[in-house]
Amino acid sequence: MGRVSASLQLPYAVETVFGVATRIADLPRWLPEVIAAELLDTELAVGSRVRLRMGAAAGNSEIVGTVKQYRPPNILAIGGSAGPLSIDVRTRLEGVSETGTRIVLEIEVHAPPLLGFVAREAERRINAELAGSLERLRALIEAETAPV
């Protein structure tokens, strides 16, 4: 099992950050190792199904997972598996002021002992990309909130 986490404080209201961070179709634009994402149900809620296609570090696997926690505007947690590999992604937000939000991103990768090298490689790559992924999220939010 490998777990990585990172956090970032953003100068936006928690509702704004949550709205962008939880848009499933945009996960590949900022989340490490996710190269495609699709909400399989009509709305995002606990129990909704999500399909994630992962990059090379996660064995180019396709994971069909479910939303484990969904509490706007503070928590979205998705967990799923593809064969012996399972991944849990948890996004937690807390408003630190009316216009400031701290986002914490936690990713856990699980694999059986014989495939532990896959989990370790996924953990290494995700950890290397995590800070950059939160900066990509910041850029998405800035692009959406910029005056026209």
Would you say residue 147 lies in a domain? Answer: no
pLDDT tens digit sequence for 42-51:
999 999 999 9
- Could you read off the pLDDT of 80-135 as tens digits, one per residue? 988 777 889 899 999 999 889 999 988 887 777 776 676 677 677 777 787 788 88
Provide the whole-model pTM.
Answer: 0.83
Beta strands (DSSP E) in the chain are 2-10, 34-39, 49-54, 62-71, 75-82, 85-97, 100-110
Quote the number of domains for the chain: 1
Is residue 148 assigned to a domain? no
Which of 57-61, 65-69, 112-116, 136-140 has the highest average model confidence (pLDDT)? 65-69
Percentage of the residues of the chain whose pLDDT score is greater than 70: 93
User: 58 in a domain, yes or no?
Assistant: yes
Count of CB atoms situated within 10 Å of the CB of 144:
11
CATH at residue 109:
3.30.530.20
- Domain residue limits at 45: 2-142
The pLDDT of residue 111: 75
pLDDT band for position 1 (50/70/90)?
A: low
Tell me if 32 is assigned to some domain. Answer: yes
In a domain, 102, yes or no: yes
